[in-house]
Structure 1
Amino acid sequence: MAGHARVGEAAGPYDLADLATTAEELANSHLDLGSILVPVVEGGQVSVEMSVDNQPEAVYLLTPVGRITVAAYAAPKTPGQWREIVLELGDSIRAEGAEAITENGHWGREVFTDVPGDETHRFIGVDGPRWMVRCVASGPRETAGHLAQLARAVLAESVVRRGSDPFPPREPLPLILPDVLAEQVKMAQRQLGEEDQLAIDELPPEAYDAGPAVRPAARPVDETPTGPISRGTAMQRLRNRR
């Protein structure tokens, strides 16, 4: 049974089961990625990172002030998973020699790091009913404040489609590309795969004009901030995405 909440009230991230907003309305304002529906950012683009077995690993919203990714994970019925991850995330960042600053944000604790000579990264998490949403905002130091505001606005309008399938805590919920986006990714991958005819670094700019950027991963990369299936520290995983 639908609830009474509506997107557009900046009261999210929402659970799809609690929304009175119709599927048609969501289709006009959000990018449906299966387990998570994210609002379309005006003036932004979409970048898809694929694994070596051609599965979507991450979807980034590229904006003039930086990139934002929102992902949904399974969580226990009892909230508190994000609080645990914040502590582990801070330890992981400090182990890389960077400073991890814990700040109080709209939903609770956020983790911010400013890597010298690099870019800033802000981690925002929210616990929901049997799910957790994690948002990462990365960009230049000079746009960090604006990017943080934009990331919170995106998160406040995101919608989680948890489903009833069982998943262990911290397991990423399935990421599914919409048909149009999936077809654009396949086209870009075919162009990238023509290595014997055209070197990847010589691809003409128009190859990406009509669709999203595609960044194939050199190996499967797990975006989960912590947990038994994570590969590498938090900062290593972020560096792998540039």
Structure 2
Amino acid sequence: MAFWPFGKKKKEEQEPKAAQSVTETAPEEVAVATSEDTNASAVAPDPEAESSPAAAGTVIAQAPGTTKIENYDPVGGSTGPFDGDSVEIEDFDFTDFSDVTLNLGSVRIPLPKGSQVQVEMGEQGPKMVHIVTEFGRLTPVAFAAPRTGGLWEESSDDIGEGMRSEGMPMNFEEGPWGREVVGKGTNGVVRIIGVEGPRWLYRVTLAAPNGREEQLAQLGREVVARSFIYRGQDAILSGNSLPVTLPQQLAAQVQQAVEARAAQAQGQTAGASGQAPTTPNPNALSDALRQILEQSEASRKND
């Protein structure tokens, strides 16, 4: 599916279609994972693979099935990622691709149909948000960037060097927005897409098992092209990630799921010692997605 250019909705069609996309579709699932869970699924380096000459920066091949976007414009163009501070997401109709938009404050992402949201938990709380699809996992992050640009070129060099230092063969490929970093592991492929806009850098990491890397690359670019970045006017040091805000009710449900998980583990321990286990809420995760839907619908009504 080609993802460019996107046409804007007619004014009289915006409200009915927006409501339909939220209320008439099946919900995606929201899951909660610990750092150990996500690390276990990470792509391990492949010691037998070799880096291509592109790893040294001498040659950058065009990524399969892609063409370069000419004159990419996040404000006045018809292909994202868009600058959300200047472009209204409600002006576009993505219902052929997505049933619900994930609002993380600094980033809004129309979720691919059939995908799931996975909130990675660290010791201090939510650490990362992943989008899990049939082809693999996408991890979106937005950063503050200098007005003059150049952050992606610099950081992609660092990422490539880091991969090589960890023993992961890698190369650069030319994608629709420019350079993409590709790392080859024993059990899959990591591809990192970076796009710069007005004082921001949008980076999406794709992790696919072997045999599904091309499908995930295509889907990942579809997601990138429909994303909206909200940099705001606050002073943020270049290279620092933009703040991510979980909807209040979703955050509460995530916390409930984490507590249920801990209670279940405690119950298993107590059961082994003869004590009655604590029963977790079985609906905590499905309830969390319902909060996303309600949050999205409320946001549209307020707009």
Fold agreement, TM-score > 0.5: yes
Structure number, greater radius of gyration:
2
Pairwise CA distance, 1:192 = 1.7
SS at 1:166's partner residue? coil
Q: Confirm or deny that 1:210 pairs with 2:280.
A: no
Pairwise CA distance, 1:86 = 1.2
Q: Confirm or deny that 1:178 pairs with 2:254.
A: no
SS at 1:18's partner residue? coil
Alignment of 1:1-150 (within 5 A): 6=8, 11-22=79-90, 29-54=100-125, 56-116=126-186, 118-150=187-219
For the residues of structure 1 that align with 2:134 and 2:116, how far apart are their CA atoms? Answer: 9
Pairwise CA distance, 1:98 = 1.1
Pairwise CA distance, 1:183 = 2.5
Change (3 A) 1:175 1:37: same
User: What is the number of residues matched between the two proteins?
Assistant: 205
For the residues of structure 2 that align with 1:143 and 1:208, how far apart are their CA atoms? Answer: 31
Structure 1 unaligned blocks of 5 or more: 214-242
Pairwise CA distance, 1:70 = 1.0
SS at 2:164's partner residue? helix
For the residues of structure 1 that align with 2:105 and 2:133, how far apart are their CA atoms? Answer: 22
SS at 1:171's partner residue? coil
Q: Is the 8 A contact 1:10 1:153 kept in 2?
A: no
Structure ranking higher in helix proportion: 2
For the residues of structure 2 that align with 1:51 and 1:6, how far apart are their CA atoms? Answer: 39
Q: What letter is aligned with 2:102? A: L
Taking only aligned residues, the RMSD between alpha carbons, in angstroms, comes to 3.0
Query: 1:163-210: CA deviations, max 9, x gaps?
Result: 1111111101001112342122012111122132236xx998956662
Q: Which residue in the other structure is 2:233 paired with?
A: 164
Task: Provide the TM-score with structure 1 as the length reference.
Answer: 0.76
Q: What letter is aligned with 1:156? A: A
For the residues of structure 2 that align with 1:155 and 1:24, how far apart are their CA atoms? Answer: 15
SS at 2:267's partner residue? coil
Task: Provide the TM-score with structure 2 as the length reference.
Answer: 0.61
For the residues of structure 1 that align with 2:122 and 2:210, how far apart are their CA atoms? Answer: 29
